[in-house]
Amino acid sequence: MLKRPILSLQKGLDILCCFMFDDYALSAHTISNRLNIPLSTTYRYLETLEEGGFLAKANETNNYMLGCMTFQLGNIVAIQLRLVNTALPHMKSLASLSGETVFLAIISGWRTLVLETVETRTRIKLTVDPGSTQPLYAGATSKILLAYQKESFVDSLFQKVVLTKYTENTPTDPMLIREELRTIREQGFAFSYQEVDLGACAIAAPIFDDRGNVMAGIVAAGPKERFSEETKPRLIQMVKDTAKRISHDLMYLPPP
C-alpha cells in the first residue's frame, strides 16, 4: 500500500522545482499562482526554506533564488556522478577478471549505499541492486568504509545503532569490531564471510579522493565456495589494485 506523502514537505519540494535556468529568480506571487497556494501560506514556506539555506532573496528585489544549500547538494550529486563514471570501466574489468559481482558503495547515514553494480557473467553469482543498503558495522562493504572514519563517528554509530545479528557471523561486539577496523586499515582491505547474507563472501578496498579521504569502497562479492584460502590472495590483490587505479583517476596522490 502506498503511503500518503507529507503534504508540507511535498509543497516545499514543489516550490524548489519551480526554479529553472530561465526562471532563476521568482516572486512569492509567481510561486503562489503557479502552485495554486494561498499567498500567506506561500510566504511561510518561503521563510522556512530561506532559514534552511535552500532559498535566498535577491539583493535588488524581493524575489527568491536557490540558496547555498541547494548548491552544496548539487555538488554532492556531481561528485557521486564523477565517482561512478570514473569507477565503472574499472569495475567492469574487475568483474570480468575475477568472475564475481562488483559494486561501488558509500556511507549514507548509518548504513552503506550501493551506487553502482556490475554483475559477472558466471551462472552462479551474487546479485546486488544499486540503491540497496547494508548495516554499517557488518560485511566487507561496510567495514572498509567504517575503518577510515574518525573515532567520534564510530563512537556515535555504536551509541545510536542497535547491532543486530543477521547471521551467526555478524559482528556485534564493539570492542572486537574496533580491533578489526584497525587491522583493515593496516592491510588495506576488508574480508567478510557470511556476515550479512548466508552463503556470501566479499572483499573490499578503499577508494581515495584527491584530498586523501576515503569516499567509497570497491567490492567483489560472490558465493563462499569461490573464496577459498587458495583463491583469496589473488582476489584480494585484484580488488586492491582496482581501488588504486580508481583512486589514481580521481587524482589521489598516495603519501611518499
What confidence category does residue 3 fall into, taking pLDDT thresholds of 50, 70 and 90? low
213-222: pLDDT as tens digits: 999 999 999 9
129-173: pLDDT as tens digits: 998 999 999 999 999 999 999 999 999 999 999 999 999 999 999
Domains parsed from the chain with CATH numbers: 7-66 (1.10.10.10), 77-249 (3.30.450.40)
Q: Enumerate long-range contacts of 145-149, CB under 8 Å, 24 or more apart.
A: 145/105, 145/106, 145/107, 145/112, 145/206, 145/214, 145/216, 145/217, 146/107, 146/181, 147/181, 147/182, 147/184, 147/185, 147/190, 147/206, 148/185, 148/206, 148/213, 148/214, 149/107
99-128: pLDDT as tens digits: 999 999 999 899 999 999 999 888 888 889
Query: Rounded distance, CA 125 to CA 96, Å?
Result: 13
Q: Is the overall model pTM greater than 0.85, yes or no? A: no
Which stretch of 3-12, 48-57, 223-232 has the lowest confidence by average pLDDT?
3-12
What confidence category does residue 80 fall into, taking pLDDT thresholds of 50, 70 and 90? confident
pLDDT at residue 1 in the model = 42
For the chain, give the mean pLDDT. 91
